[in-house]
Amino acid sequence: MKSLTLYLPDSFELDDKETITFLASKLYEKGSLTLGQAADVAGYTKREFMDILGRYGVSIFNYAPEDMEKEFRIEKKSNR
């Protein structure tokens, strides 16, 4: 696993754990990390991390609109 050092201003008010969790949630939202990877980076189980994502405005359903539409079309065809 890679290591990263951040230099933040003294006025930055999030503690280390909150900062790492925020970064992991945004990397998950962007699609750079899977849910499991993001949870691992933040130091939580998948279940715990799923609960936390809402605090950062990140959906656990990380699908692009076109991918979601494709999934619905496939599901609709299979239910006929």
List, for residues 34-46, the tens digit of each pLDDT value: 999 999 999 999 9
Counted domains in the chain: 1
Round to whole Å and give the CA distance between 13 and 51. 22
In a domain, 34, yes or no: yes
In a domain, 22, yes or no: yes
Lookup: tokens for 46 = 């998948």
- Reported as type and span, the H/E element at residue 74 is helix 65-78
Round to whole Å and give the CA distance between 35 and 41. 10
> In this structure, how many other beta carbons lie within 10 angstroms of the beta carbon of residue 62?
16
Q: What is the pTM of this model?
A: 0.72
Give the mean model confidence (pLDDT) for residues 16-25: 94
pLDDT for the residue numbered 80: 67
Domain that holds residue 39: 16-78
Give the mean model confidence (pLDDT) for residues 11-20: 89
In a domain, 10, yes or no: no
In a domain, 6, yes or no: no
In a domain, 9, yes or no: no
pLDDT for the residue numbered 65: 65
